[in-house]
Amino acid sequence: MKKTVVIIDDEIHIVEVMVALFESEEYELIGFHNADEAVSYVNTHEVAAVFCDYRMPGITGLELSKCFKPGVRFFIISGDLELDLSSENTVFATIQKPFEVEDLLSVLEGLKHAS
């Protein structure tokens, strides 16, 4: 059974590229450009992880992370080098932009072993 991974970014091309790059036999990637739609989906479906841009219109990724049901593995993707979310219990990890494909593949590989 495939694990579902959600990508949230207001930039449509970023979502499309990430979905195309990481879709596989093991993962189904679902992209959202709208935060409200993403929250509704994640809170009503089983997902392995959420990758979210930090800066979006009207809401930050950190604010959005607090809208999800408990237990969601939430990853912030950000180009802000000053961003330190290590003390936030709703954020599993921060991935710095620009990132290499291998960085996200490594995170996905780690999800295989997560319960």
The whole-angstrom separation of Cα 57 and Cα 45 is: 24
β-sheet bridge partners, residue 51? 7, 75
- CATH for 3-112? 3.40.50.2300
Say how far apart CA 70 and CA 62 lie, in whole Å: 14
67 burial type by CB count under 10 A (0-12 exposed, 13-18 middle, 19+ buried): middle
Neighbour-count burial for 14-36, b at 16+ CB within 10 Å, e otherwise: bbeebbeebeeeebbbbbbbebe
Radius of gyration of the chain from Cα atoms? 13
Q: Give domain limits for the chain.
A: 3-112
Instruction: Report mean pLDDT in 10-residue bins for the chain, 115 residues.
Output: 90 88 84 95 95 91 91 85 64 78 80 65
CB atoms within 10 A of CB 82: 5
The span from the CA of 46 to the CA of 41, in Å, is 9
* pLDDT value at residue 81: 57
